[in-house]
């Protein structure tokens, strides 16, 4: 605001004319409230005007030499222009997400995101690179790049329960993406009643969504810009007796496909060796192309525009050298001692007879539950004398307790017992779910089912089974006390005599040992500490440990040079990076072959510089040993012919049959030619 007194000859004034400032030539006062000014406008035309005191608020003196002035909030202008610059940045920096994240990208990750996925609008794609190739990082870069371009506001990630924490950690620590995990509490506490609608960046558990119909009903009401499904092969379907057999996970996959514009599937095992199943799986991305009944030779569809698959052996660094070092696997076979052989035969006979009794049960769910319990027993028998002894003891104690309850309720040895109330029946689909459940969930399910499930239908049958268990328990105790454990002896030899265990200066290298069972883990930890003579040299990771304790054990193994051995259950196969070591022993082999690769992938991953060695301990003259030896031999042959690309054929090595089912058959029908 300028006063009338400020209007002097030569001044430049805004507000006299609407088309810009004028320059004052002459000023003449009429009283003290009116002034007559003669001026020249910006084009040089003269003008004359009477200006009254009430016009002062619209007048402004402009400094000489400045044709305009700016008096708005400068920090707000800076903020707006910076936001606009970031919004447009991808036009000038083609790798913006890479340059604004805490990652060192690799050639295959950049080509996947910037050459394969980003140009596809809308994106319907299957990323099927090998485990350990950094698929989580690729997905994170894609999310960030699409967010920067204003193409993604709402993103949902669906993955197995054991991977949700890893997804959340990696996306936040490396890409600053604040994803929330969907929990039961969050579902209940939603302000609008629908947590899916409220949370724009969300990670959900696959099995929670596939089994919870209420959650699915809420999910159906939402729309997403991008949905990513990790371990997407779990959503596959199969043909059985000419019909499509769909699981709950598959139905969830079809639902998710309809709720989003961009749909990304991620798996390291896209193909199980059956072309018709693979085509059904690809129908999640493009229903039109893969719809219809599969006919051999007719339905061979090119999927190169929908999928990328790179195995570890193809991945290179920027200088063209291989990204991953070589990986070598050895099968260490050992014979059972006489006492172990007797225990093995007696327990296997018990398992086989109980399987046959289970076949006679009318209730299919209960039949499956008993079968699962017996399978656990057989696996623990193969694990260690300690594991089978503790399992037999717990089972005998729980069945005795149940027998006392039944005898109180009913009189007479032939009275029928209500086994349905003991343990929940387990379906084939739930068994498949357990293959991919967290270590803790598997352990809890096994303990409940192993100790509470029996094929006995009367009190006398239950008594007879308890007597057999007492004999087997006494035999297992005898083996345990004898100190004869051939499997441990093989591991002990490896630890002491194998040249790979020591570096050039003679110092012991770090080693990861995987076992299936907590009892075996405790047993091994004690024996290795005694062998090395230093309790602090061994740390453990298992499913019952909290996230904080697990992290501490992992860091101690990686950072502390005094910690040399990590003994772990499959809890350490779940999203833990152990590239600090390059030696691994499978003390127990898993009944799910994909777990072999998952375990090896803990040490054979990006950042590993040494050749990785894996020893698989397999007992000779046992039925499981025969199956494993055949599988490992087959893999070794294929590794040589394919130049190391083992995992690509791991699923096919079993000719379409599940390893778990093959092993059960070997136990039940092992005597048949």
Residues 424 and 309 in one domain: no
- Could you tell me which residue, 383 or 597, shows the higher pLDDT? 383
Terminal alpha carbon distance of the chain: 106
Average pLDDT of span 198-202: 95
Residue 141 located in a structural domain: yes
Residue 237 located in a structural domain: yes
Contact 573, 605 (CB under 8 A): no
Residues 384 and 494 in one domain: no
Residues 184 and 279 in one domain: yes
Residues 407 and 432 in one domain: yes
Q: What is the pLDDT of residue 276?
A: 77
Residues 601 and 456 in one domain: no
Residue 74 located in a structural domain: no
Q: How many CB atoms lie within 10 A of CB 316?
A: 14
HSE-up of 66 (CA within 13 Å, CB side)? Answer: 9
- Could you tell me which residue, 125 or 347, shows the higher pLDDT? 125
Secondary structure (H, E, C), 315-336: CECCCCCECCCCEEEEEEEECC
Q: Which of 529, 496, 489, 500 is nearest to 603 (CA)?
A: 500
Q: Which of 237, 238, 262, 259 is nearest to 250 (CA)?
A: 237
Residue 212 located in a structural domain: yes
Secondary structure (H, E, C), 587-627: CCCCCCHHHHHHHHHHHCCCCCCCCEEEEEEEECCCHHHHH
Output the DSSP codes for 98-149: HHTSS----HHHHIIIIIIITT-SS-EEEE-PPTTS-HHHHHHHHHHHHHHT
Q: What CA–CA distance (Å, rounded) separates 282 from 275?
A: 11
Q: What is the pLDDT of residue 361?
A: 67
Q: What CA–CA distance (Å, rounded) separates 378 from 668?
A: 11
DSSP state of 416: B
Extended strands (E) in 455-535 = 511-514
Q: What is the pLDDT of residue 648?
A: 42
Q: What is the pLDDT of residue 653?
A: 42
> Looking at the predicted structure, is the pLDDT value of residue 669 above 90?
no
Residue 633 located in a structural domain: yes
Single residue among 443, 463, 482 that ends a domain in this structure? 482
Residues 157 and 109 in one domain: yes
Residues 117 and 256 in one domain: yes
What CATH code is carried by the domain that includes residue 37? Answer: 2.30.30.30
Single residue among 416, 451, 482 that ends a domain in this structure? 482
Q: Which of 251, 156, 169 is nearest to 205 (CA)?
A: 156
Residue 84 located in a structural domain: no
Q: What is the pLDDT of residue 317?
A: 87
Confidence class of residue 593 from pLDDT cuts 50, 70 and 90?
A: low
Residue 70 located in a structural domain: no
Q: Is the pTM higher than 0.75?
A: no
Q: Across the beta sheet with 583-586, what order do the strands follow? A: 327-334, 612-619, 583-586, 511-514, 565-568, 538-541
Average pLDDT of span 442-447: 70
Residues 449 and 583 in one domain: no
> Looking at the predicted structure, is the pLDDT value of residue 441 above 80?
no
The helix, strand and coil proportions of the chain, stated in percent and rounded to the nearest 5, come to: 50, 15, 35
Helices (H), ranges, 176-211: 184-188, 195-198, 206-211
Residues 620 and 536 in one domain: yes
Q: Which long-range contacts (CB under 8 A, 24 or more apart) does 81-88 make?
A: 86/148, 87/148, 87/150
Q: What CA–CA distance (Å, rounded) separates 624 from 356?
A: 19
Tokens of 271: 């193909």
Compute φ and ψ for 246, nearest 5 degrees. -105, 135
> Looking at the predicted structure, is the pLDDT value of residue 154 above 90?
yes
Residue 651 located in a structural domain: yes
Secondary structure (H, E, C), 657-670: CCHHHHHHHHHHHC
> Looking at the predicted structure, is the pLDDT value of residue 230 above 90?
yes
Domain holding 51, by residue range, is 4-62
Q: What is the pLDDT of residue 529?
A: 94
Residues 489 and 454 in one domain: no
What CATH code is carried by the domain that includes residue 629? Answer: 3.40.50.300
Least confident of 41-50, 161-170, 413-422: 413-422
- Specify the number of domains making up the chain: 4
Average pLDDT of span 384-393: 90
> Looking at the predicted structure, is the pLDDT value of residue 65 above 50?
no
Residues 351 and 478 in one domain: yes
Q: What is the pLDDT of residue 655?
A: 42
Q: pLDDT (tens digit, 9 = 90+) per residue, 514-570?
A: 998 889 999 999 999 999 999 999 999 988 888 788 889 999 999 998 999 999 988
Residues 136 and 280 in one domain: yes
């Amino acid at each position: 605001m300028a006063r009338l007194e400020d209007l002097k000859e030569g001044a430049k004034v805004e507000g006299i004319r609407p088309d810009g400032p004028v320059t004052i030539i002459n000023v003449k006062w009429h009283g003290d409230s009116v002034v007559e000014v003669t001026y020249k406008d910006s084009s040089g035309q003269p003008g004359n005007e009477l200006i009254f005191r009430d016009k002062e608020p619209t007048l402004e003196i402009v400094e000489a030499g400045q044709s305009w002035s700016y008096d708005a909030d400068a920090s707000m202008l800076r903020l707006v222009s910076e936001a606009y610059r970031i919004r447009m940045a991808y036009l000038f920096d083609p790798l913006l997400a890479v340059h604004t994240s805490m990652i060192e990208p690799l050639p295959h990750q950049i080509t996947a995101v910037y050459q394969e996925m980003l140009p596809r609008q809308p994106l319907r794609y299957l990323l099927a690179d090998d485990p350990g190739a950094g698929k989580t990082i690729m997905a994170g870069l894609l999310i960030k790049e699409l967010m920067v371009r204003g193409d993604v506001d709402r993103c949902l990630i669906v993955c197995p329960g054991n991977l949700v924490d890893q997804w959340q950690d990696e996306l936040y620590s490396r890409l600053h993406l604040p994803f929330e995990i969907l929990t039961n509490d969050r579902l209940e506490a939603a302000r609008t009643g629908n947590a899916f609608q409220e949370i724009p960046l969300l990670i959900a558990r696959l099995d929670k969504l596939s089994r919870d119909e209420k959650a699915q009903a809420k999910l159906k009401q939402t729309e997403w810009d991008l949905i990513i499904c990790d371990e997407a092969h779990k959503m596959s379907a199969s043909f059985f007796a000419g019909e499509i057999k769909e699981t709950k996970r598959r139905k969830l996959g079809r639902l998710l496909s309809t709720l989003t514009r961009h749909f990304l599937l991620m798996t390291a095992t896209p193909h199980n060796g059956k072309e018709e199943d693979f085509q059904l799986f690809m129908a999640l991305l493009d229903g039109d192309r893969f719809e219809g009944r599969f006919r051999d030779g007719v339905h061979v569809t090119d999927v190169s525009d929908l999928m990328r698959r790179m195995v570890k052996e193809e991945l290179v660094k920027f200088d063209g050298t291989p990204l991953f070092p070589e990986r070598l696997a050895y099968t260490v076979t050992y014979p059972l001692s006489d006492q172990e052989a007797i225990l093995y035969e007696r327990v296997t006979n018990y398992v086989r007879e109980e399987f046959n009794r289970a076949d006679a049960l009318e209730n299919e769910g209960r039949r499956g539950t008993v079968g699962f319990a017996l399978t656990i027993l057989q696996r623990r028998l193969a694990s260690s004398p300690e594991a089978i002894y503790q399992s037999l003891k717990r089972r005998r104690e729980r069945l005795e307790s149940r027998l006392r309850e039944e005898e109180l309720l009913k009189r007479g040895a032939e009275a029928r017992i209500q086994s349905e109330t003991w343990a929940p029946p387990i379906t084939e689909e739930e068994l498949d779910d357990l293959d991919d459940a967290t270590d803790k969930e598997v352990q809890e399910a096994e303990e409940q089912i192993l100790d509470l499930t029996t094929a006995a239908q009367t009190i006398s049958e239950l008594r007879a089974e308890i007597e057999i268990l007492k004999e087997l328990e006494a035999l297992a105790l005898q083996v345990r006390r004898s100190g004869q454990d051939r499997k441990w002896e093989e591991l002990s030899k490896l630890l002491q005599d194998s040249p790979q265990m020591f570096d050039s200066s003679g110092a012991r290298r770090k080693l990861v040992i995987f076992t299936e069972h907590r009892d075996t883990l405790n047993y091994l930890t004690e024996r290795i500490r005694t062998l090395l003579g230093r309790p602090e040299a061994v740390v453990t990771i298992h499913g019952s440990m909290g996230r904080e304790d697990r992290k501490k054990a992992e860091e101690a193994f990686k950072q502390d040079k005094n910690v040399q051995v990590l003994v772990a259950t499959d809890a350490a196969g779940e999203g833990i990076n152990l590239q600090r070591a390059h030696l691994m022993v499978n003390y127990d082999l898993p009944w799910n072959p994909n777990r072999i690769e998952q375990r090896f992938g803990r040490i054979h991953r990006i950042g590993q510089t040494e050749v990785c060695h894996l020893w698989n301990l397999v007992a000779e003259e046992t039925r499981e040993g025969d199956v494993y030896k055949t599988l490992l031999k087959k893999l070794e042959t294929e590794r040589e012919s394919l130049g190391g690309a083992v995992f690509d054929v791991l699923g096919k090595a079993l000719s379409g049959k599940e390893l778990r089912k093959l092993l059960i058959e070997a136990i039940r029908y092992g005597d048949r030619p």
